[in-house]
Amino acid sequence: MKTNIYLYIFVMAFTTWCMRVIPSLIMKKPIENRFAKSFLYYVPYVTLAIMTFPAIVQATDQPLAGAAALVAGILAAWFGANLFSVASICCITVLLLEFLL
């Protein structure tokens, strides 16, 4: 089966264009609904979480080490650690658990 790469690129470009243009054509006024505003506010965070959390667990040889690092990172961030400290704690947790398991 011979495929045409230009057809794939066109379909991707058209789909992306539609996703950007159609909402601007439909929504002429600002959104007033509190539920819709709240929903749209959290969409980027949920999307990032959906892409990140499985990768954290599957990036290690032992999924338990990834899950433990996720919990350690959440706890460190909850108690006010900065980004570098959270990343360091997660890496050390994975290193120790990979060594022990």
Give the domain ranges of the chain: 33-100
53-72 pLDDT per residue, tens: 888 888 888 999 999 999 99
Q: Say yes or no to pLDDT of 89 above 60.
A: yes
pTM, two decimals, is 0.60
Q: How far apart are CA 12 and CA 6, in angstroms?
A: 10
Q: What's phi and psi for 79, nearest 5 deg?
A: -90, 10
pLDDT at 3: 77
Written as six digits, the tokens of 13 are 């470009």
Helices 63-78 and 34-58 sit at what angle, rounded to 10 degrees? 130
